[in-house]
Amino acid sequence: MSVKVDLETNFAECVLNAGKVILGNKQRNEMNPQLQKKQNKIIMNAICALLNSGGGVVKAEIENKDYNYEIHGVGLKMPSIFKGYLDEMQQGDLFLIFVRSWNAEASGVRLASLSSNLYHRYRTSNDVMNSQEALAFLKGRSQTLVNTNDSNSLSPQKVQVGVQNDGNIRASAAALFARTRLQFLEKLNFTKSLHVEFKMFSTEVSQCFDESLPSCVSAFANTEGGYIFFGVHDETSQVVGCEKEKIDLATLSQSIDNCIRKLPVHHFCTQRREIKYAVKFLQVHNQGVLHGYVCAVKVEQFCCAVFAKVPSSWQVKDNRVKRLATKEWIAWMMEADPDLSRFSEMVLALSLSSTTPRSRTVCTHKNFECLKEQQKRYFPGAPGWHSG
Is residue 302 within 8 Å of 283, Cβ to Cβ? no
CB atoms within 10 A of CB 278: 13
Catalytic residue from among 4, 20, 158, 199: 199
DSSP conformational letter for 102: P
Helix or strand run (H / E) with residue 249: helix 249-261
Rounded distance, CA 223 to CA 228, Å?
14
Number of H helices and E strands in the chain, helices first, is: 10, 19
User: Is 158 an active-site residue?
Assistant: no
Is residue 148 within 8 Å of 221, Cβ to Cβ? no
CB atoms within 10 A of CB 267: 16
Is residue 220 within 8 Å of 228, Cβ to Cβ? yes
CA-CA-CA-CA torsion for 106, 111, 112, 113, nearest 10 degrees?
-130
CA-CA-CA-CA torsion for 132, 137, 142, 143, nearest 10 degrees?
100
Helix or strand run (H / E) with residue 331: helix 326-334
Cross-strand pairs, 95: 60, 90
DSSP-derived secondary structure for 355-381:
S-TT---EEEETTSPPHHHHHHHH-TT
Calculate the alpha carbon distances from 307 to 143, 162, 354 in Å. 19, 31, 28
DSSP-derived secondary structure for 198-246:
EE---SSHHHHHHHHHHHHHHHHHHTT-EEEEETB-TTT-BB--EEGGG
Residue 240 CB-density burial (10 A; 0-12 exposed, 13-18 middle, 19+ buried): buried
Q: Give the length of the chain.
A: 388
Catalytic residues, which ones? 199
